[in-house]
Chain A
Amino acid sequence: DSGVTQTPKHLITATGQRVTLRCSPRSGDLSVYWYQQSLDQGLQFLIQYYNGEERAKGNILERFSAQQFPDLHSELNLSSLELGDSALYFCASSVDLDRGWNIQYFGAGTRLSVL
């Protein structure tokens, strides 16, 4: 158990809908990262938040947004869903102290199926 909690585990929805994925980081971790894993793209970095502020951005679609709340949990919002958004979505967290190395611990993921 990595200590990172993601809910829900599975999500089935229809095209055009909006969903929210939730992530609770490990105790003490200030950074949260979101990744998408689809069959054809592999694991892709979406976005990072550090202590409530956006810190780094990957190839995240404009239809997707995220935020990190004062209690450090994070939500990834996916809107106007398309069939191609079906994927595993992973959240990771890290302490993110000012040092040269940084270990990210991943949650079990949310499997999103868009029908």
Chain B
Amino acid sequence: DAKTTQPTSMDCAEGRAANLPCNHSTISGNEYVYWYRQIHSQGPQYIIHGLKNNETNEMASLIITEDRKSSTLILPHATLRDTAVYYCIVRDAGGTSYGKLTFGQGTILTVHP
């Protein structure tokens, strides 16, 4: 699976949009981008995923650049409950790595009042 690079930490004011970047410059054509978050030792929570088009769901939006080498997770109106570690994961749809998710260090997002 392609390697991802994320900032170690970010801050955001409550009510403002949180934009979390992820670099995945070695991504290949059949690899999907997934975002998960983990709130204080709870189980990781799925947020969103995409291949090449921008995606939106009730939790967030995912913007993937045209060359697919980077993406941004957008939380449109961050709340204190969005404080968590956010993981950007690139995973091949098939092959021997089909099963696993490879978690990096993620971005610690802190939402301030």
Contact = CB atoms under 8 A, between A and B. Distances in A.
A and B: partners? yes
* Secondary structure type dominating chain B contacts: loop
* Secondary structure type dominating chain A contacts: strand
Nearest to B38: A43
What is the size category of the interface that chain B forms with chain A? 20 to 34
A108 B97 CA distance: 24
What is the size category of the interface that chain A forms with chain B? 20 to 34
Interface stretch (A12-20, A63-71, A73-81, A98-106): A98-106
Contacts of A111: 41
Interface of A: 2, 4, 31, 33, 35, 42-45, 48, 50, 55-56, 58, 88, 90, 92, 99-109, 111
Interface of B: 30, 32, 34, 38, 41-46, 49, 51, 87, 91, 93-94, 96-105
